[in-house]
Chain A
Amino acid sequence: MLRSLSTSLRSSCRPVALRTASLPARSLSSQSTQSSRAEETTEESYNLLANSQQNTGDDIAQLLNLDVLTAPKESNAPPVMNIPPQEDPLLHYLASRIMQSGHRARANRIVARTLLNIHAYTRAPPLPILRQAIFKAAPAVRCLNHRIATKQVLKPIPLSEKQSIGRAITWILEEVEGYPGSKQVRQGGSQLEERLAREIIKIIKGESAVLATKEKVHREAMLNRGSVGKA
């Protein structure tokens, strides 16, 4: 019944300028407000558009207790509808990094089970813990090997949000799985989700090797802070 109502609303609407939430495009540090599609229609903050001239959607919107968003009559600008992202951008990115050969569902399952493991250990909401761990492990700068004449100079360069989070996830996955050619013994569980959860907890506690790597990078940048201005 709900599906037919939404199609009738859509048919009575003028073309809409869609904007994916009020967040910048694919910002990893901002959370998605929608967790599952089932909760969409009951969310009060999910504003649906009604045509201000025809007013066909108003009574239906009021029946469902939805806010009716009408464009101001003076402006010719199309009304804007805020659509939150389908899933949390950080979780999506983490799953993309874990994914191999295009097996997206497997990667999503691993991420979901990692969150479950974190929750089982901490008895707290797992997503803020995961976010905190990744931001804690994320470096702010990287050192570029820059050649001036014959001399190799290390130049610190600031990282964007996605770059720094990408590096943090690279280090975490290397710690957990090893890099190609390494012969490290898998400690902490036979499943990736278990090892990942343990690594996240270790980062929060401050015991992880990832944090030591980050500190090393930051120290190198600090020691070479004089070469920021050099061409």
Chain B
Amino acid sequence: MGIHIKNLKVRPKKAGVTVMCAPQLTTMLGCWAASGDLHSVGACQEAAQDLFRCMRTTPLPKKVHAPTINYHLARLRKRVQ
């Protein structure tokens, strides 16, 4: 009856990297583009300090568990096919 797959598994999609302090980061990068102050000593010093303060104070993002789809597929293999 149809296709028989011995080991049913998929390549689960990896969750994207969560960027911490994204608004402060975009502000600083935009400031670099506008002023050319890549070392953050002149015009972009304020924006850089904001980013550093944010990185110091925000709690780390919680670790996301890897997808368990393959476990469930292996478990339900005989029922699905």
Which residues from chain A sit less than 8 Å from chain B, CB to CB?
24, 136, 140-141, 144, 146, 155-161, 211, 214-215, 218-219, 221-222, 225, 228-231
> With A158-B20, A225-B30 as given contacts, are A141 and B25 in contact (CB-CB < 8 Å)?
yes
A158 adjacent to B21 (CB under 8 Å): yes
| B25-49 residues at the A interface, CB under 8 angstroms | 25-26, 28-30, 32-33, 38-40, 48
> With A144-B17, A156-B29 as given contacts, are A229 and B52 in contact (CB-CB < 8 Å)?
no
> With A140-B48, A158-B51, A225-B33 as given contacts, are A214 and B39 in contact (CB-CB < 8 Å)?
yes
Nearest chain A residue, comparing its CB with the CB of B14: A147
> Nearest Cβ in chain A — how far from B76, in angstroms?
29
A160 adjacent to B55 (CB under 8 Å): yes
B16 adjacent to A218 (CB under 8 Å): no
B29 adjacent to A157 (CB under 8 Å): no
A221 adjacent to B29 (CB under 8 Å): yes
Q: For the complex, what is the distance from the CA of A141 to the CA of B32, rounded to whole Å?
A: 12
A155 adjacent to B33 (CB under 8 Å): no
Nearest chain A residue, comparing its CB with the CB of B23: A228
Return chain A residues, CB-CB under 8 Å to B22. 228-229
Return chain A residues, CB-CB under 8 Å to B19. 155, 157-158, 228
B38 adjacent to A219 (CB under 8 Å): yes
Return chain B residues, CB-CB under 8 Å to A24. 56
Q: Which of A144, A222, A231 contacts B38 (CB 8 A)?
A: A222
> Nearest Cβ in chain A — how far from B35, in angstroms?
11
Return chain A residues, CB-CB under 8 Å to B56. 24, 160-161
Q: Which of A156, A214, A215 contacts B25 (CB 8 A)?
A: A156
Q: For the complex, what is the distance from the CA of A47 to the CA of B68, rounded to whole Å?
A: 54
B38 adjacent to A158 (CB under 8 Å): no
> Nearest Cβ in chain B — how far from A145, in angstroms?
11
Q: For the complex, what is the distance from the CA of A86 to the CA of B43, rounded to whole Å?
A: 38
Return chain B residues, CB-CB under 8 Å to A146. 16-17
Q: For the complex, what is the distance from the CA of A142 to the CA of B25, rounded to whole Å?
A: 11
